[in-house]
Chain A
Amino acid sequence: MTTLSDPPKEGFQLSQLIYDTRYRSMTIQIVALIGFLVLIGWLISNTAQNLADLGKEPSFRFLSEPAGYDINQRLLEYDSQDTHLRAALIGLLNTLLVAVMGCITATIIGVTVGVMRLSNNWLVSRLTAVYVEMFRNVPVLLWIVFIMAVLIETLPAPRDFRGETPTASMSLNETVAITNRGVYVPEPLFSRSLGDVHLFGNSGLRFDVSLDLIAILLVLGLGLFASNRIKKRADSIQESTGDRPTTWYLRLGVVVLPLVALLFALGFYLGYPELKGFNFRGGTHLRNSLIALWLALSLYTAAFIAEIVRAGIMAINKGQTEAAAALGLRSNRIMNLVILPQALRVIIPPLISNYLNLTKNSSLAIAVGYMDITGTLGGITLNQTGRELETLLLLMLCYLIISLSISAVMNWYNESVKLRER
């Protein structure tokens, strides 16, 4: 009697790659991968070949050539002699500005409307429902153009403020001018300014940082930190003695007083807009294009966020509300302390995609002449240099980086509110 202790030895045969189930799936995947790479390679080489035939080899040298055009809204200094790279940077900052402003207002409006839609008040819940359905079901481009048209057609032109009997006048005690070219608000100025720090020398990426702003942020940060320490101290006193010392005036003073002192030291005053020549001068000019784009993107995205918030709240078991009510909490505290913290876990992931949508939708800016990065790099620069492929690749890269950064930040926040499993 002999027993087989070893399985029969077999050599590896090529046919096993297809007929042996251990290898087959691997083979199919590798073949598919090769096919995919060949396709991509063919697309790239075909594009390169066609561009070469046209005599347009890909090149990014145009970025260092003078742009030659002006941009109305610029957060950094820029003139028509700056490079295309600089123009792209100005556009990028405009994109970021409207994206950040949009995300903040969309969140505020969205959360408010989402909660209100669950209200027991018939009128409130119906009105918010109408808002959500109206904005969610009409393309955002139409909202942008519509709001712009309303701003242009209904508000007075600067020339209406002029003359013996002007048909329009400035609002809020002659400090704010609302015109169909935008809103002019007072701007903060400093008579004893600390000046600016110039970064990146003379390159296309140069920018100035105001030392005044840094000083203000620093003092504000320190004030908040100190205020937080006072609160912690009050907490510990309350825990040990049961009495909570009154600290609100201390906490307020520690934030406000140094700030006021600093503003005074810097010689803070407000610059008011004034009608000079064709336009208002002075003050901060919020252009119509920015307002229209910002409002439309916020209101549109807020409608989606409202639905997400509503879904998040409804996902929390009713028992939670009832238990909290049984403990004697009032309804707004139930919402803030019990429901919303739990609902956030459901709300955050879809909220991220809405922030991404808002940022990407901001590329519709050109419809109202807002010079975002699609308007500068992907619009005028593309048109003046004829570098379609290069500018569009750069543009895609920019949006990809912005979107991935938003995702990264929001995912980090999501981690922090996630249910801790113990």
Chain B
Amino acid sequence: MKKTVFLGALTVAGLAAGAAAAGTLDDVKARGKLNCGVTTGLVGFAAPDANGEWSGFDVAVCRAVAAAVLGDSKAVEFVPTTGKTRFTALASGEIDMLARNTTWTFSRDVDLKFTFVGVNYYDGQGFMVPKSLGVSSAKELDGSTVCIQTGTTTELNLADFFRANNISYEPVPIETNAEGQQQYLAGACDTYTTDASGLASTRATFENPGDHVLLPEIISKEPLGPLVRHGDDEWGDVVRWSLNALITAEELGVTSANIGEMSAAAGDNPEINRLLGTEGNLGEMLGLSADWAKNAISADGNFGEIFEKHLGESTPIGLARGLNAQWTEGGLIYSPPFR
């Protein structure tokens, strides 16, 4: 009898370890906090401000999910991850989701066993050089020293680009964006390469941003998006539709300013009503409260508001919407319908 109990306990322990991957939604609800993986600091995407509060474009996605699940956009534990540690952190369950300008690629989706729930920023890899270097095209970079964040897709794109153009380079691998910035500014590398948005955000923090230019070549497609572990579709749905809620809200004109009024009572537009939970039971289907999307949108505004606030032309980073405009305005941002 005792032996059976012991073996049973062993089995339970084994199963518990195995089952940790499933049921993330319940885990988050029970914990009352969302563990969200972000960068170690990339202004505009995720960086702590003077008060230690995280803010940024990726952070806004974390906050929206936390608001949708827990009703509180502050109930997020931000876990800074490097390009190297992020996947291990997600696979091991240390974080519930990763929103760390991570490129959606085949091997990450299929081989690393992650589920990308969508794209929140369409990016591409670029090069930044000091103006004084007099370089106007990436193809003139033969023999240059290139600073590159290790453990990223940019590392592979870089190797491919230089091989395809039959020119040589010297990679200087670095661990974090801050390190890259230091080496680049000291002239230890001629050029710094990463996603163009990251370069713009890094340049914005320089003393003299005007002394540095981004080269015209964009050498890769980098669709950046939040991701979760494979095999927990319920949780994947929650994150996916939280992001879609932000996008749809912009498309339908739901903003943080008018959301209180719009969600008070069912209006004329049935899709808005379904989104905000005044009609239908979409929230219940996700295992969330009826006002989940309202909470998500109130957290930091709709997709467009988030973009303008953290990356847009009024910020020091000054990125144009470009590919990241709504599909109705010639961009690629498109959410499936709330129905």
Chain A residues with CB under 8 Å of chain B are 42, 45-46, 49-50, 53-56, 68-72, 79-81, 149, 152-153, 157-160, 180-181, 276-279, 281, 288-289, 366-367, 369, 371, 375, 379-380, 382-386, 388
Contacts and interface: CB of A to CB of B under 8 A. Distances in A.
Contacts of A157: 186-188
B83 to A, nearest CB: 7
Given A42-B10, A181-B189, A380-B173, 13 more contacts: A69-B171, A71-B171, A79-B163, A81-B163, A180-B187, A277-B142, A277-B144, A278-B144, A369-B175, A383-B150, A384-B156, A385-B111, A386-B87
B84 interface: yes
Contacts of B222: none
Contacts of A54: 21, 91, 113, 230-231
A278 B145 contact: yes
A379 B151 contact: yes
Interface string B5-21: 00000100010011001
Given A80-B159, A281-B143, A383-B87, A159 B187 contact: yes
B183 interface: yes
B230 A152 contact: no
A49 B19 CA distance: 11
A69 B111 contact: no
B65 to A, nearest CB: 23
A364 B174 CA distance: 13
Interface of B: 10, 14, 17-18, 21, 83-84, 87-88, 91, 107-108, 111-113, 132-133, 141-145, 150-151, 155-156, 158-160, 162-163, 169-175, 182-183, 186-190, 230-231
Contact of A72 (B108, B112, B141, B170): B170
Contacts of A386: 87, 91, 107-108, 111-113
A212 B159 CA distance: 33
A410 B10 CA distance: 45
Label chain B's interface by main secondary structure. mixed
30 contacts: A46-B18, A50-B18, A53-B21, A54-B113, A69-B159, A70-B162, A72-B171, A80-B156, A157-B187, A158-B187, A159-B132, A181-B172, A278-B133, A278-B143, A279-B143, A281-B143, A375-B150, A379-B84, A379-B151, A380-B150, A380-B173, A383-B83, A383-B84, A383-B151, A384-B151, A384-B156, A386-B91, A386-B111, A386-B112, A388-B91
A70 B159 CA distance: 6
Contacts of A68: 156, 159-160
A102 to B, nearest CB: 20
A373 to B, nearest CB: 14
A55 to B, nearest CB: 6
Contacts of B158: 70
Interface pairs A-B: 5 shortest CB-CB: A157-B187, A383-B151, A80-B159, A386-B112, A278-B144
Contacts of A158: 187
Contacts of B183: 152
Nearest to B157: A68
B14 A366 contact: no
A186 B231 CA distance: 57
Contact of A55 (B107, B108, B175, B230): B230
Contacts of A379: 84, 150-151
A38 to B, nearest CB: 9
Nearest to A180: B188
A50 B142 CA distance: 47
B155 A69 contact: yes
Contact of A380 (B14, B18, B91, B155): B155
A239 to B, nearest CB: 60
Contact of B14 (A42, A79, A149, A277): A42
Contacts of A388: 88, 91
A171 B239 CA distance: 59
A181 B87 contact: no
Contacts of B112: 386
A383 B152 CA distance: 8
